[in-house]
Amino acid sequence: MKKNSKELINYALPAVFENILQTTVGFVDSVLIAKISLVAVSAVSLVNGVMAVYQAVFIALAVAVITVVSSITGEKQADTLSETVRTAIVLSLVVGGVFSVMSLLFAYPILVVLGAKGAVLSQGIIFLRVVAGTSILMVLMIVLGQLVRSAGRPKLPLMINIVVNILNFIFDVILIFGLFGFPKLGILGAGIGTALARLVGVVMLVLALQKTSHRIEGHLFSGKLHIFKSEIVKRALPIMGERLMMRLGDIVIFVIIIVYGTDVFAGNSIGETITAYNYLPAFGFATGASILISRAFGQKNKAEISSLTKKSFVITAILSTILGGIIFAISPVFISFFTDNATAISAARIVIFISFISEPIVSGVIIYTAALQAMGDAKTPFYATLIGMWTIRIGVAWVLGTGLGFGLWGVWIATVLDNVFRFFVLKLRYERRLKN
C-alpha cells in the first residue's frame, strides 16, 4: 500500500501544481481586467460561465479518455491502445470544432439569454468570440495533457503549462494595455493572449505525446476508427451529462444572482475567483486517482481501489480545508486587488466563508465522483448532480435568495445543501459497487 501512496502522489501533485498555475493566471487575468472596469469583470464572468459549460464537455471527454486508456493499460491490451489514442484526438477535433463554430455564430444570443445588457453585453460578445471561438485549442490541451499524463509522464503537462501560463500572462499584459508599440485592446487583448498561449501549448503537447508509449502511430485518420461507437463515447456521454448539468445549473445561478445587481454579481465573481484555489488539491488528486483506480479496476484489484479512494479523500479534505482557512483569513487583501466597492466586498466575503466551511464535503464529492467514473459508473454522478443541482441548489436558492429575500446568503446556503446531498449519494453508491 505504500507503493500506491507514492504513485498517487506522483500523479496527483503535478496535477495540483498545474491547476494552481492555471488558476493563478486566471486570478491575475481577473485582476488585470478589473483595472479596466467592473463592467469588464462582469462581462468576463458571464463568458467564463459559458466557458465553464464548454470546459465541462471537454473535461468529460478527457476523463473518459484517461479512464479507458488506463483500463487498457491495466488489462495490457496494447493492440487497442493506438486506436484508442487516435480516436480520442479525432473526437477532440470534432467536439472542439463544433463548439468553436457555434461560439462565433451565436455569441450574441447566448449572452442575451444569460441576461447580459448594454456595456456588459458588448464587451462579453468580443471576449466570447475570441476565447470560445478557439475552443478547439482548449479541448486539445485538456485531452492531450491527460494522454501524456496517463502514459506515465505526469510532470510533462505541468512543465508545458508553466510555459503556456507565462506566455498567457505576457501576451495579456501587452495586448490589454498596449505595451511595446502594440495597440491597447482591452478585453479583446485578454482573449487574443489566451488563444495564442493555448496554441503554443497544443504544439508542445503533441510533440511531448509522440515521445511516450501513447504516441500517435501512422496517420491520425488511418485504420478503422469507430468514433461514435467507441468505449470513450459510451463513457463520455454520461460524464458530459453530469458536468453539463452542473455548469448549466451554475449559469441559472448566475441569472438568479445578477438580479441582485451588478455590484453583487461582480462581488460573487471575485469571491469565486479567489476560492478557486480551495478546490485544487481535490481536482489534482481526482486526476491521479482516476488513472490509478482505472488501472486497478482493469486488474480487478478492489483492495487497491479502496485504498486509493480513501487516501485521496483524506488528503484532499485536509489540504483543502487548510488552504480554505488561510484564504479566508487573508481574504481582505485578495479582495482589495479587485475592488473597493463595499457591496462587492461584502458579496465576495460571503462566497469565501461558505467555501471554507464546505471544503471536506466538496472534496468528498469530487473524489467519489472520480472513483465511480474510473470504475465505469458514470451514471450515478450524473443522476446525483441532476437532482442536487436542479432541485436542491437552484430551487432552494430561488426560494431563500429571491423569494424570502436572503439574497446571496440564500444562494450559497442552497449550494451547501446540494453538496451534502451529493456527497452521501455518491459515497453510498461507491461502497455498494465496491462490495459487488
- Residues 5-20 have pLDDT tens digits of 788 888 888 888 877 7
What residues contact 194, with CB distance under 8 A and at least 6 apart?
29, 130, 131, 168, 171, 172
Question: Residue 3 has what pLDDT?
Answer: 63
Q: Taking residues 171-191, report their average pLDDT.
A: 88
- pLDDT tier, 116 (very low <50, low <70, confident <90, very high otherwise): confident
Helix axes 302-329, 331-338, angle to 10 degrees: 70
- Res. 41: pLDDT tops 80: no
> If you average pLDDT over every residue of the chain, what do you get?
86
178: left (phi over 0), alpha (psi -120 to 50) or beta: left
Q: Evaluate if residue 78 carries a pLDDT over 80.
A: no
pLDDT tens track for 303-321:
889 999 999 999 999 999 9
Q: What pLDDT is stored for residue 23 in this prediction?
A: 65
Flag whether pLDDT at 352 surpasses 90.
yes
Mean pLDDT, range 223-246, rounded to an integer: 73
What residues make up the domain containing 46?
A: 2-435
* Burial (CB count <10 Å: 0-12, 13-18, 19+), residue 353: middle
pLDDT mean over 176-196:
88
Q: What is the rounded CA–CA span in Å between residue 14 and residue 20?
A: 10
CA–CA separation, 284 and 146 (whole Å)? 12
The span from the CA of 191 to the CA of 258, in Å, is 23
pLDDT computed for residue 338 by the predictor? 81
Q: Among 272-276, 329-333, 422-426, name the most confident range.
A: 422-426
- Residue range 118-142: mean pLDDT, rounded: 89
pLDDT of residue 171 exceeding 80 = yes
Could you give the CA distance from residue 190 to residue 51 in angstroms, rounded to a whole number?
Answer: 15
User: Could you identify the residue written with the cell 449559469?
Assistant: 251
Domain tally, the chain? 1
Look at residue 131 in the predicted model and tell me its pLDDT: 87
pLDDT, position 172: 87
The three three-digit cell numbers of residue 223, written as one number: 485504420
Alpha-carbon span 33 to 40, nearest angstrom: 6
| Highest mean pLDDT, choosing among 62-66, 132-136, 243-247 | 132-136
Query: How many whole angstroms from its chain centre is CA 336?
Result: 26
Give 408's pLDDT tier (boundaries 50, 70, 90): very high
Among residues 26, 36, 183, 184, the alpha carbon closest in space to that of 124 is found at 36
Q: What is the pLDDT of residue 236?
A: 78
Its pTM stands at: 0.75
Amino acid 202: pLDDT: 95
Q: Are 253 and 401 in contact (CB under 8 A)?
A: no
Higher-confidence position of 192 and 222: 192
From 354, 332, 323, 337, select the one nearest 417 (Cα to Cα).
354
pLDDT at residue 269, rounded to an integer: 85
Tell me: pLDDT of 222 over 70: no
Q: What pLDDT is attached to residue 79? A: 63
- Cα–Cα distance, 393 to 61 (Å, whole number): 25
Judging by beta carbons within 10 Å of its beta carbon (0-12, 13-18, 19+), is residue 199 exposed, middle or buried?
A: middle
Task: Please state, in angstroms and rounded to a whole number, the distance separating the CA atoms of residues 409 and 423.
Answer: 21
